[in-house]
A and B are shown apart, each in its own frame.
Chain A
Amino acid sequence: MRMTTLTKHAGLGVASALLVAVACGRQEAASPNKSAANGRAAGAGSGTTIVTPPRGAGESNAAPEMPSTAHVPKDLPIGVSPTLYAISVPADRVPTPALVALGDKLFNDKRLSVDDSTSCATCHDPKAGFVDHKPLAEGIRHQRGERNAPTILNAMFGATQFWDGRAATLEAQAKLPITNPIEMGMKDGDAVMAKVRGIPEYADTFRKLFGREATFDDLALAIASFERTQFAGDAPFDRFINGDENAIDAAAKRGWATFNGRGRCNTCHAGNAVSPLFSDQKFHNIGIAAHKQDFPQLAREAAGIVDSGNQKQIDELAIETKFSELGRFLVTKQVNDIGAFKTMTLRNIAITAPYMHDGSLPTLWDVMDHYNKGGIQNPFLDGGMQRLGLSEGEIDDVVAWMSTLTSDRFAALGKAEMARMTGMKNTRPQRDVAAAMGKKGDLGDIAPPPDLKVKNPASQGVFGTFQHAADGGR
């Protein structure tokens, strides 16, 4: 069915009817809504030798042009894809050491906040996996926002930034927390730059690097450049997939099979050697926000308030108000995006607890419990959500597998966090075995556990091996 945008002018009655219609129509396959990316002619690839397909009349699946890999660093670790680097980092945004040094300093500088109390690193602590380990981020004067601070690790590869994708680039992202009233509290970009220009060391550095007085854009570029050095591979899983059978243990190997099989995790947490994030970078309603919200009512209210395209307003609604729970809807005002949040990368997931956009799940076992029962029912629940019927052993295995995605430089933190979460394993508020096993209504179709000696779901299709840019990139 065709989804219709709620507009400011839609009366409550109309909006309500739409919401009901959408709820009823959820099982229908959404018609492909491919963007203008389709229907274009294929051009010659630059820097890569990829055969261009013959193009028939009216053909709409022409291959996309591939970016050059010439600017990709040659020394990326395994687990980091040169191809994804080429796709994500434009050639003119490859960070220079001087910009990175400036960005690093700014990232850790509390003077970027109105009362010198809060830096980017306050919530994205580099030593703690670039998170704060709090359910909700805390800004100036200990004010709490409505969202959990996501990690900066691999954020550079995101198709969008923030839980709802309201910023397209790292640069656009970097500005918003600085000027959010309860995060770093600066009034606006001008106020930030007036303060920064007053700090001699910055004034000099900016002038040297940009040849002009510092601007808010320059500041955002410096922070983004620092973030573009925070790629993170080098995990035990990466060595395993490149052929080292001893890199992960038997439980993690079983978990990898379940991840690709009965767990259905790979549908959204998609990963291969070319795109090793284990994230589709899409937005899904998995029911987390339904813990505390009546979505249709909230969406009706929001429809009258949200000014589509006003990024500043959406930022404040997302951080400061109950409308935060509407997720992607705040950005698109599309009914189908109500309560939908971005699929986060699973890389370094063991060191970034607590989980979900509101930090409401303290451990990876809670996350597994949430999915095992099919999420929380609500009219906008993603069609891919269904009970999984995983046993306690299978849950342990998938958690063990996730713990193999911790980069070596955070190995000690990963071990400590896994020990801490294991200690909490017997407190399981999200656990609902009856729902998971279909005793509360048989939603979805569940296969019996596979015989791994006959066929391992992880061997279906191809993951690929990690190539280095020096080998020609992929």
Chain B
Amino acid sequence: MRIHARLSIVAIAVLAGGSVALADDKAAPKHNLPTSPNGDLVVGLCDGTTSTTVRGKKPGEQLTPAEAKKISDELMAEWKRKNPATGASWDRETLVAQNTPQPGGNRTDTAAHGAGTPGPAGAQPSTGTAKANMATTTQRAQDGHTYGAFTTRDEQIWRASTQAFVDEGNRIFHDAKAVGGTIAVSCDMCHPNAANTHPETYPKYQVQLGRVAMLRDMINWCIENPARGKPLPDDDPKLKAMEAYIYAQRRGVALEYGKH
């Protein structure tokens, strides 16, 4: 692979301010990729200047995940070389995005398993169970407040439902085919653990688009440009799931719309 390093100082949009001169406010800036003399595949980086030629691969040919990863690694390495300061910050972002779990305390709720959990098989006490069961049921299932009586069971269902959605986003984020790209590049190759996706900064002016965008708009931009797929409708379950995954990696980060 050979890196075409045009040295204009167009920084990557997610890190830089809106200082790029734009000919037309409505039209998105275009990254004109150089052509390879052999007709090999040329892949561009989202900074609008960096690109790489994939030797021996023609446009439209299948790439393996390993080959795709090599492309993204080459491009990222070149970008970091050109932007040492912001490059270091990209790596720091990766750590933030990993959102390392905080150790929690031990549960103090002794009735943790809810009303439905009996004792060991065959060992139920035969007298007094009715009364005991009643008391538990009364306490946990619903006691006067139809819409306020939430039980551990309810919260487990909510948590599992939300987690299933995030897990689905996680799967798609790591699956180039699911994203619909054509060069085997998946989201995680540049954004491990959704690093540098900055969901908390939307809406904001997005330089690549030349307009204000929401997170889903930028996901679609990435699907089209580095990954070379078709953009998804705004309410596509895959797009929603990716948003869910990206937001889930940033728990506790303050909302700062418009931030660059």
Whether the pair B152, A275 counts as a contact (CB closer than 8 A) is: no
Q: Does A447 contact B (CB under 8 A)?
A: no
Q: Does B212 contact A (CB under 8 A)?
A: no
Whether the pair A90, B153 counts as a contact (CB closer than 8 A) is: no
**Which A residues between 182 and 216 are near B, CB-CB below 8 angstroms?**
189, 210, 215-216
The minimal Cβ–Cβ distance linking B137 to chain A, given in whole angstroms, is 4
User: For A465, what are the chain B residues with a Cβ–Cβ distance below 8 Å?
Assistant: 168
Q: Does A394 contact B (CB under 8 A)?
A: no
Whether the pair B134, A166 counts as a contact (CB closer than 8 A) is: yes
The minimal Cβ–Cβ distance linking B103 to chain A, given in whole angstroms, is 8
Q: Does B24 contact A (CB under 8 A)?
A: no
Knowing A159-B115, A159-B116, the reply to whether A165 touches B142 (Cβ < 8 A) is yes
User: For A464, what are the chain B residues with a Cβ–Cβ distance below 8 Å?
Assistant: 161, 164-165, 168
Interchain pairs with CB closer than 8 A, number: 225
Knowing A166-B134, A169-B133, A221-B121, the reply to whether A282 touches B161 (Cβ < 8 A) is no
User: For A172, what are the chain B residues with a Cβ–Cβ distance below 8 Å?
Assistant: 129-130, 133
Which of A31, A35, A43, A50 contacts B150 (CB under 8 A)? A35
The minimal Cβ–Cβ distance linking A184 to chain B, given in whole angstroms, is 17
Whether the pair B126, A467 counts as a contact (CB closer than 8 A) is: no
Which of B11-19, B198-206, B233-241 is found at the contact surface with chain A? B233-241
User: For B101, what are the chain A residues with a Cβ–Cβ distance below 8 Å?
Assistant: 51-53
What DSSP secondary structure best describes chain B's contact surface? loop
User: For A42, what are the chain B residues with a Cβ–Cβ distance below 8 Å?
Assistant: 104-105, 107
The minimal Cβ–Cβ distance linking A455 to chain B, given in whole angstroms, is 8
**A interface footprint on B237-258 (CB within 8 Å = 1, 0 otherwise):** 1001100100010011000000
Whether the pair B147, A30 counts as a contact (CB closer than 8 A) is: yes
Whether the pair A66, B116 counts as a contact (CB closer than 8 A) is: no
Q: Does A420 contact B (CB under 8 A)?
A: no
Whether the pair B118, A169 counts as a contact (CB closer than 8 A) is: yes
- CB closest residue in chain B, given A172: B133
Knowing A43-B107, A160-B137, the reply to whether A88 touches B241 (Cβ < 8 A) is no
Q: Does A426 contact B (CB under 8 A)?
A: no
User: For A273, what are the chain B residues with a Cβ–Cβ distance below 8 Å?
Assistant: 161, 164
User: For B108, what are the chain A residues with a Cβ–Cβ distance below 8 Å?
Assistant: 40-41
- In Å, the complex CA distance between A88 and B118 comes to 11
Q: Does A25 contact B (CB under 8 A)?
A: no
Knowing A216-B126, A274-B160, the reply to whether A37 touches B133 (Cβ < 8 A) is no
Which of B111, B137, B140, B147 contacts A166 (CB under 8 A)? B137
- CB closest residue in chain A, given B140: A35
Which of A248-256, A316-324, A327-335 is found at the contact surface with chain B? A327-335
The minimal Cβ–Cβ distance linking A379 to chain B, given in whole angstroms, is 15
User: For A92, what are the chain B residues with a Cβ–Cβ distance below 8 Å?
Assistant: 120-121
Whether the pair B143, A332 counts as a contact (CB closer than 8 A) is: yes
- In Å, the complex CA distance between A35 and B141 comes to 9
Whether the pair B124, A171 counts as a contact (CB closer than 8 A) is: yes
User: For B118, what are the chain A residues with a Cβ–Cβ distance below 8 Å?
Assistant: 90, 93, 169, 171
**B interface footprint on A448-473 (CB within 8 Å = 1, 0 otherwise):** 00000001000100101101000000
Whether the pair B126, A331 counts as a contact (CB closer than 8 A) is: no
The minimal Cβ–Cβ distance linking B165 to chain A, given in whole angstroms, is 5
User: For B136, what are the chain A residues with a Cβ–Cβ distance below 8 Å?
Assistant: 168
Which of A37, A167, A474 contacts B151 (CB under 8 A)? A37
The minimal Cβ–Cβ distance linking A129 to chain B, given in whole angstroms, is 24
Interface size on B, residues (CB 8 A): 67
**B interface footprint on A333-360 (CB within 8 Å = 1, 0 otherwise):** 0111100100000000000000000000
Whether the pair A62, B130 counts as a contact (CB closer than 8 A) is: no
Whether the pair B144, A168 counts as a contact (CB closer than 8 A) is: no
Knowing A272-B161, A275-B157, A464-B161, the reply to whether A309 touches B148 (Cβ < 8 A) is no
- In Å, the complex CA distance between A474 and B116 comes to 20
Q: Does B94 contact A (CB under 8 A)?
A: no
Q: Does A434 contact B (CB under 8 A)?
A: no
- In Å, the complex CA distance between A308 and B131 comes to 9
User: For A218, what are the chain B residues with a Cβ–Cβ distance below 8 Å?
Assistant: 122
The minimal Cβ–Cβ distance linking B82 to chain A, given in whole angstroms, is 34
> Quick one: which of A55, A62, A168 has the most chain B CB within 10 A?
A168
- In Å, the complex CA distance between A51 and B107 comes to 16
Q: Does B30 contact A (CB under 8 A)?
A: no
Q: Does B109 contact A (CB under 8 A)?
A: yes
Whether the pair A3, B145 counts as a contact (CB closer than 8 A) is: yes
**Which A residues between 249 and 290 are near B, CB-CB below 8 angstroms?**
272-275, 281-284
Q: Does A217 contact B (CB under 8 A)?
A: yes
- In Å, the complex CA distance between A464 and B155 comes to 17
Q: Does B178 contact A (CB under 8 A)?
A: no
Additional A-B contacts beyond A32-B148, A53-B252, A64-B152 (5; CB < 8 A): A172-B133, A218-B122, A284-B146, A308-B138, A462-B244
* 28 CB < 8 A contacts A-B: A32-B150, A33-B143, A41-B104, A43-B106, A48-B163, A52-B102, A63-B159, A64-B155, A66-B159, A67-B156, A83-B160, A87-B156, A90-B113, A90-B117, A93-B121, A167-B137, A168-B134, A169-B115, A217-B122, A217-B125, A221-B124, A275-B157, A309-B138, A310-B130, A311-B133, A312-B130, A462-B240, A464-B161
